[in-house]
Amino acid sequence: MPYFVFLKENARWLAGGFALTFFSSFGQTFFISLSAGDIRAEYGLSHGEFGALYMFATLASALTLPRLGRIVDEMPVARTVLITAPLLALAAFSMALSRHLALLALTIYALRLFGQGMMTHIAITAMGRWFSAQRGRAVSIATIGHQAGEALFPICFVLVLGIVGWRSTWFMASAMLLFVALPAIWLAMRVERSPRAGDGAERRPAARQWTRGEVMRDPLFYVVLLGVLAPGFIGTTIFFHQVYLVDLRGWSMEAFAASFALMSLMTLAFALICGALIDRFSAIAVLPAFLVPLAFACLTLAAFEEQWSAFAFMALLGVSYGFSSTLFGSLWPEIYGVRHLGAIRSIVVSTMVFATAMGPGVTGALIDAGIAYPLQIACMGVYCLVASMLMFRVSRTVSARQRADASGVSQ
């Protein structure tokens, strides 16, 4: 199906998925951190104290997500939006009002759970379930809502902050969620979509529709996680320790900050490229490739001290981020089917949140123990190369298993 025709015929569902990831920004680290200085000042928190509070609130949200995330399997998508978006708005409203440390912790927990967690989870699960032959394109379009939010909301926040203050900015975020995001997403997604024969040449679906319990007992699931967790762990770790890295290399902080724009452009471009590749070859076929750019990114950053290596790292990281953001939305439906996709993805997302929460702490402890940071980054690169070889083996094993399952079903 031509790309323009695909966009035209599926505009409402694609717009709904994009809007879900776009408005998940209010629960993402990049948006919450814009208020970090004001929060620490008003609550009398040090950098370490606020970091610890944020980490524990994020980990608590990860523990909650597997139970809450399965509602996507039990009720229509539009109804899950009617639950999630108001609760995210309430969390934003609480951020504007909170004066007590306990309420701040609860607020961050809710922002992370309903923003980063559920809004993204609903979007990618819906795209994975509603599309088949064009699943890669659908997921890639939905995921670029994250990049759009990262590009737009920080600028808007800073502009509004100077006029009304940080608390009133959170009031406005709450109002936007209730009066803009909620009705727009509900109208777009209130009619569910079913994969159609006219979508294109349908690939054979997973012969089995795995339950979450079956997936948790599948050894292959944990091997795949070894690769899936790497981009989030490595990216979060590098970004968290970016000031230390810049000081260590003697770089310009302004130049390093400018490299983020290159990463965003590469992420956006390769998310769309990956979507097209998945639709043509399948997510399982693409799986072995997504960690290769990340491996070279880490090895480049570890080996070279010149400022250009930061831009090379960010460009290659953007390639891997673009691939992984689309791949992860299409991979699980191909391996385990769509009937219990919400419950399965909630486990995956929860595990990824744990990885991103633990990365900065583990590497920080190693730095304190005298383990050179460039050596750690090099080890991350080697890990990605080894994991990529494992993913090649996984790809072959999954393909063989699906052929065997399909053969058993047809007999």
Cα 140–chain centre separation: 12
pLDDT tens digit string along 116-149?
889 999 999 999 888 877 888 898 899 889 888 8
User: Are residues 189 and 220 part of one domain?
Assistant: no
- The CATH code of the domain that includes 91 is 1.20.1250.20
Does residue 204 form part of some domain?
no
Does residue 202 form part of some domain?
no
pLDDT at 3: 67
User: Are residues 148 and 8 part of one domain?
Assistant: yes
pLDDT at 407: 67
Does residue 411 form part of some domain?
no
Does residue 203 form part of some domain?
no
CB 283 within 8 A of CB 231: no
User: 207 by DSSP, 3-state: which?
Assistant: coil
pLDDT at 411: 46
Write out residues in the chain with pLDDT < 50, as ranges.
197-198, 200-202, 204, 410-411
Cα 27–chain centre separation: 12
Residue that is last in its domain, among 193, 217, 235:
193
User: Are residues 244 and 169 part of one domain?
Assistant: no
Q: In Å, how far are 32, 95, 125, 266, 393 from 236, measured between CA atoms? A: 15, 24, 24, 17, 27
User: Are residues 214 and 189 part of one domain?
Assistant: no
pLDDT at 202: 46
Does residue 131 form part of some domain?
yes
User: Are residues 227 and 189 part of one domain?
Assistant: no
Does residue 229 form part of some domain?
yes
User: Are residues 262 and 152 part of one domain?
Assistant: no
Does residue 155 form part of some domain?
yes
User: Are residues 95 and 142 part of one domain?
Assistant: yes
Residue that is last in its domain, among 158, 193, 228:
193
Domain count, the chain: 2
Residue that is last in its domain, among 141, 163, 193:
193
Domain encompassing residue 366: 209-406
pLDDT at 409: 52
User: Are residues 102 and 16 part of one domain?
Assistant: yes
User: Are residues 375 and 313 part of one domain?
Assistant: yes
User: Are residues 225 and 187 part of one domain?
Assistant: no
User: Are residues 59 and 33 part of one domain?
Assistant: yes
The residue among 389, 405, 136, 395 whose CA lies nearest residue 273 is 136
User: Are residues 61 and 102 part of one domain?
Assistant: yes
